[in-house]
Amino acid sequence: MSTWLELLYLAHGMTRPLTIVSTGPFSADSIALFEQSAPGIRFHPFPKATPDEIPADVLATADVYYAYGELPSRAAAPKLRWVQMHWAGVDSAIHDPLFASGEVILTTGAGIHAVNVGEYTLMMMLALAHRLPMAFKMMQAGAWRDDRAAFMPMELRGATLGLIGYGQIGRAVARLARAFGMRVIALRKRIPTEDERHDEDVTFIRRDQLPMLLAQSDFVVVAAPLTPETRRLLDAGALGQMKPTAFLINVGRGAVVDEQALASAIAEGRIAGAALDVFEQEPLPDDSPLWRLAAEYRVVLTPHIAGQTPHYEARAAALFAENLRRFSRGQPLINQVDFSQGY
């Protein structure tokens, strides 16, 4: 009797085992997990290698490519049917010629860092609300500032959080915010039906209701992917709809926010401040006005670190193992990119 794996090969006209080329930084335990998920695979690890550093004969046989960085060309990998990305963002990968024919599936690492990005976001809300940047400035200067009015905090309890993007990161942020007694409004591309709602304490809005979200929110958190629809979504006009006491936090993609307009809004006191982990250009240029605002303790800047976690490899391995299991059985994959939507 044929095994399910043999039947899969026959269904796809294959007479050989599933061949996987990986540039992911996986341990021996993770590779063993992959082999358990899809027995009989041929796994070729090339940690953090570029396609040019992988033997041409190996790449030519690859059915699956786990991408830590650069993608191979279609000519170099003619048998390729699926690419799993190590990272969540695919705003540049979706335009790669590899996917032009529509023959290659693309999946992402979305959700792997939802826990730590959620914690980072809550940390920044608390830091901004309790004037921590100002306290650090005082500490670094070694000079006591006896100005209690300047340190008057905003309590998170009863404040409103406006989420732009409600994927796995948005949901993680919402759960933490609700635990602090915050009201949560979330912009989603598609409003869930009553049967689909699992977050009863979240108010969902449509794209055309963004002005309402901005006007009501004490914290606006950007957790959306970069698509043609979201590029510079928060421009000067949108930022002008925020409260002068409100803060912006961006953990999504830098280009969703017009940085020059944001810097002007903060410098002119039209919004209270911001915490930014992502930028239109990375590293952030030395001449960016955001550096000056950070020196004035009105902006907190971090170098795209919100997604870091010591558990990233283990979570990435678990996700890939599950997707391998599904792929080898012809089942739908987790985090499959819809090219028409851009994520």
Spatial separation of the C-alpha atoms in residues 10 and 233, rounded to whole Å: 48
304, 315, 325, 326: which one is catalytic? 304
Within a 10 A sphere around the Cβ of 9, how many other Cβ atoms? 17
Q: Which of 229, 209, 219 is nearest to 250 (CA)?
A: 219
Partners of 300 in the β-ladder: 275
Element (H, E) at 85: strand 82-85
Spatial separation of the C-alpha atoms in residues 324 and 322, rounded to whole Å: 5
Spatial separation of the C-alpha atoms in residues 326 and 92, rounded to whole Å: 26
Within a 10 A sphere around the Cβ of 285, how many other Cβ atoms? 12
Question: Where do we find the tokens 């953090």?
Answer: 48
253 is catalytic: yes
DSSP E strands in 145-270: the ranges are: 160-164, 183-187, 202-205, 219-222, 247-250
Spatial separation of the C-alpha atoms in residues 218 and 216, rounded to whole Å: 7
Partners of 162 in the β-ladder: 185, 220
DSSP-derived letter for residue 191 is: P
What are the CA-CA distances from residue 215 to residues 76, 156, 291 (Å)?
Answer: 51, 17, 27
86, 113, 183, 253: which one is catalytic? 253
53, 197, 282, 292: which one is catalytic? 282
| C-alpha 86: how far from chain center | 11
Amino acid at 103: E
Tokens of 172: 């993680």
86 is catalytic: no
282 is catalytic: yes
Catalytic residues: 253, 282, 304
